[in-house]
Structure 1
Amino acid sequence: MIFILVFGYQFFFVFFLNLSVFSKTDSHSLSLVATFICGKTQFPEFTMVLLVNDVPVEYYDSGIKKIVSRRHWRVNDSIQETDLRDYVVADVYNDLQQSSHTLMKKYNHTQGVHVYQSFTACHLEDDTLRRGFFITAYDGEEKYEYDALSHTQNTLVPEFVWRKVTSDIRKQIFSSIYQPLCVRTLRRYLQEDKNILLRKGTRPRVRVIQKTEPHSGRTQVSCVATGFYPRRVNVTLLRDDRPVPDRELTGGEVLPNGDGTYQLRRSLSVSEEELRERHRYTCTVSHLSVDNKLDVSWEPEAPADPVLISAVLIAVLVLTALIVTAIVLCRKRRHTGEEDEDWMMDRSIIVTLINCGVTIRDTEEVFH
């Protein structure tokens, strides 16, 4: 159920969220996301999610056939105006079902899974209705838009153009049912649950992390922002203070954390050649909770000099060989009783070890 909630919310309505990025705290919206699926899947055929700003508050699907509250902060919650809510459910379901079948026939889609969605929202600023609209999409492509305040429609599908009689009926439904219900419901939630819905923004934690990709050997540089609320955020990855093109990046989906906050990750795959060029990568984040942008930078470390590494290895090997030789000769002389006769050889070995960086104390430990 939760996956359906998130899936339905983020499928193609991201552009709506961008309309109110960094909006004033006295601006609020109530939105209804409905999803109708044609074809066999593990999900219910029809789902609806009601959200205040970006917080899910109510849920319905064709499996349970009832509206339930998802407000975990209050038990035994009741759904008000049940009759009107039931009407909205039936109206949206019939509209999505008919529109979906119209498009499947139009595009000759007789097999596979196809998704039709609608997004309805009202937006209050200073407790005044400023926006109200209804948008639909089929398989992720926008097909229809209706402005509930000006009662104008825009569609890419000729079959969806309303005749005058239908237009007058829909105008009356939006004016007398959808708009008043949307505003009443939004105001009620903001009043009854203001401690949750009107909470202050939570500052994101930002970092740049890197890891080696196991298959390609490339380095993945990721900009990670987490723990922020509300969900609207702008994350950009810079290379030498210039934005990295979106086509080079992966990720970018805002995902929920378990504590009511959100997270987002954007990643760039960097080749070994690019690493040698030592570009500076900066993660810059803009959010309602911070006055200025948050910037976190990362720069690859300089690669080790292979000549220097080889010289050090050779020196270590030579030193090890001298120490081993000294130990063997010392033990041999002790065994044969020839220590006095070979004291000159001991002296030459000690001098050699000192020249190679071994201290007097180290040499004494070797021979004693």
Structure 2
Amino acid sequence: MMYLVLAVCILSASVFSQSGSHSLWVFATFLTGDISVQFPEFSAVVMLDDIVIGHYNADDRSFVPSTVQESVNITEQITISTVCKGIHEGMKTKAYYLIDYLNHTRGLHVQQRLVGCELLQNEPGQMMTLEAFNGESGFERRYDIQGDQQTHWKWPVIKSRAQLEYDAWLYAHFYRPLCINQLRKYLKKEKKRVMARVKPRVRVIQRTCSKTGKIQMTCLATGFYPRHINLTLLQDGQPVNEERVMGGELLPNADGTYQMRKSVELSAEEQRERRTYTCTVNHLSLDNKLDISIEPGLDPVIIFPSVLLLLCVFGVLAGFLMWRKKYKQPEQVTYTPTSATDQTTEQSQL
């Protein structure tokens, strides 16, 4: 649970929500004050996209991979352990300073740090650090693709100018290249898991409020992977006004897949207008977008654009067969076998 807030931050961060991008993150938490014996003072988890690679054991000051491997990469363990150790010491110093500055002398205090980098279409992208103390954001640093670095402080700066300049240089010329290099290694090692594709299960749910008579239509897409998805509600082919749409948050499932739902409420007057509403889903696992069209009070109709032509052909064929059955008179139908010596004539009513 301690990583839930950080996980939501990374999943909702717009910079890393693009399809075709991959990221490597360290989620770190430092606790001080009234700490339960169930939780360590410092903990950190390393994640490739949304796959847990391993965690940092603060007691042993070592990185522990999440899967048992035949051969352990000692250099990799030492590198990640050193980085996590530095994060631990930095967060500890800052936490005690903030407790004094904010006059938070009692209770449990939680400091969180999110630091990571990205590859966009296999090219180095941003590196970013976010920090929060007791649930409030206070520090942000971004190093973008062009090499520009932006730092925003909400808390007082506790370092000298020279120290800040050294930190900026270290961030750009040491931590970012190190992060990108490690990200490439993990992508190669975990390619099969990272490139997995699971199709979404989509359904439209209608609920009627007995008191107001309003209908709430909900489009639910669940069980998909990876997390990037485009779910849109349409009214007569046009996107529903965003102010009317409820939901839209990306949520994790227990099996490692994701879900998203969006809802819109229809008044009694809107129901009488007999408009058509469509739930449109685009996902990497789908060859074509998936449309589910529905009129309030009726069952949904699922339409794949790739089969529209086939539906038209079958519709014409079905119409022709119905006409033929209605107007054609009974006739003798001769079945011609493959063998000339084996012929059978059968009378059938068409």
TM-score by length of 1: 0.64
Counterpart in 1 of 2:132? 137
In the TM superposition, residue 271 of structure 1 has moved relative to its aligned partner by 6.0
Counterpart in 1 of 2:340? none
Residue pair 2:16, 2:23 contacting (<8 A) in 1 also: no
| Counterpart check, 1:166 vs 2:163 | yes
SS in 2 for 1:67: strand
Give matches, 1:41-80, under 5 Å: 44-60=40-56, 66-71=62-67, 75=69, 78=72, 80=74
In the TM superposition, residue 166 of structure 1 has moved relative to its aligned partner by 1.0
Counterpart in 2 of 1:346? none
Residue pair 1:218, 1:269 contacting (<8 A) in 2 also: yes
Larger deviation, residues 131-140 vs 109-118? 109-118
Amino acid of the structure 2 residue aligned with 1:179: R
Counterpart Cα distance in 2 of 1:280 and 1:253? 26
Residue pair 2:224, 2:259 contacting (<8 A) in 1 also: yes
Give matches, 1:110-149, under 5 Å: 110-111=105-106, 115-125=110-120, 127-148=122-143
Give matches, 1:335-350, under 5 Å: none
Kindly provide the CA deviation profile for residues 180-232 of structure 1, in whole angstroms up to 9, marking residues without a partner as x. Answer: 43233222222222222234x33323221124579998654321112322112
Counterpart in 2 of 1:312? none
Give matches, 1:85-104, under 5 Å: 85-104=80-99
Q: Return closer, same or farther for 1:140/1:276 CA change in 2, 3 Å cut-off.
A: farther
Counterpart Cα distance in 2 of 1:196 and 1:40? 36
Alignment: residue pair count: 292
CA RMSD in angstroms, aligned pairs only? 3.7
Residue pair 1:280, 1:298 contacting (<8 A) in 2 also: yes
SS in 2 for 1:13: helix
Q: Return closer, same or farther for 1:126/1:294 CA change in 2, 3 Å cut-off.
A: closer
Gaps in structure 1 of 5+ consecutive residues: 303-368
SS in 1 for 2:217: strand
Q: Which has the higher helix share?
A: 1
SS in 1 for 2:53: strand
Q: Which has the higher strand share?
A: 2
| Counterpart check, 1:30 vs 2:28 | no
Kindly provide the CA deviation profile for residues 50-70 of structure 1, in whole angstroms up to 9, marking residues without a partner as x. Answer: 122232211236588653323
Q: Larger radius of gyration, structure 1 or 2?
A: 1
Give matches, 1:1-368, under 5 Å: 3-10=1-8, 12-16=9-13, 18-24=14-20, 27-37=21-31, 40=35, 44-60=40-56, 66-71=62-67, 75=69, 78=72, 80=74, 81-111=76-106, 115-125=110-120, 127-148=122-143, 150=147, 152-157=149-154, 159-160=156-157, 162-175=159-172, 177-199=174-196, 201-211=197-207, 219-240=215-236, 241-245=238-242, 249-250=246-247, 252-258=249-255, 260-268=256-264, 275=271, 280-290=276-286, 293-301=289-297
Kindly provide the CA deviation profile for residues 41-94 of structure 1, in whole angstroms up to 9, marking residues without a partner as x. Answer: 7755433221222322112365886533234xx655736433332222222123
SS in 1 for 2:27: strand
Q: Return closer, same or farther for 1:165/1:9 CA change in 2, 3 Å cut-off.
A: same
Residue pair 2:139, 2:155 contacting (<8 A) in 1 also: no
Kindly provide the CA deviation profile for residues 211-259 of structure 1, in whole angstroms up to 9, marking residues without a partner as x. Answer: 457999865432111232211223233455342435751361321341x
Amino acid of the structure 1 residue aligned with 2:138: K
In the TM superposition, residue 33 of structure 1 has moved relative to its aligned partner by 2.0
Amino acid of the structure 1 residue aligned with 2:128: F
Gaps in structure 2 of 5+ consecutive residues: 299-350
In the TM superposition, residue 113 of structure 1 has moved relative to its aligned partner by 5.3
Q: Return closer, same or farther for 1:125/1:279 CA change in 2, 3 Å cut-off.
A: closer
TM-score by length of 2: 0.67
